[in-house]
A = this chain, B = another copy of it.
């Protein structure tokens, strides 16, 4: 398949031709999260060394609390929520950016009434996330 330029239109609800896939729902991990890989699919944009994904966390949902060696570059697109980042919680609103450094424990959470939608760019070749078990969940609730 050729590596050709293209435009992917957003119709107000979703991107044309981009499927929303459930993202690792599990009792101990993420809940209510969909992933949309926008740019960097291996068969189409092979020249990109990084993937541009959009995640949407439904109200009350969250990604799993996890850690990995590869960094994340995140830009919030819609809704409201928060990120737990190395033990501190930060509110998130559209266009806020987050840098998740290597080995930083992190989790994205939607607010109770709004979803949280964000872009997350990662290296195409990267390590797998490791879930983190909290001994004291309240540790991550202190505002910072």
Mark A residues whose CB is within 8 Å of B: 3-10, 15, 38-40, 44-45, 47-50, 52, 70-71, 73, 75, 77, 83, 85-86, 90, 92-102, 104, 106, 119, 121, 123
Contact = CB atoms under 8 A, between A and B. Distances in A.
A9 B85 contact: no
B96 A9 contact: yes
Residue picked from A86, A106, A119, A123, most chain B C-beta under 10 Å: A119
A31 B77 CA distance: 27
6 tightest A-B CB contacts, nearest first: A10-B95, A8-B97, A39-B73, A5-B104, A5-B101, A47-B71
Nearest to A106: B5
Contacts of A52: 73, 75, 97, 121
8 contacts: A3-B101, A3-B102, A5-B85, A38-B75, A38-B97, A39-B73, A47-B101, A49-B123
Counting every copy of the chain, the complex holds: 2
B45 A101 contact: yes
Nearest to A70: B47
A17 to B, nearest CB: 11
Q: Which of A50, A86, A104 has the most CB of B within 10 A?
A: A50
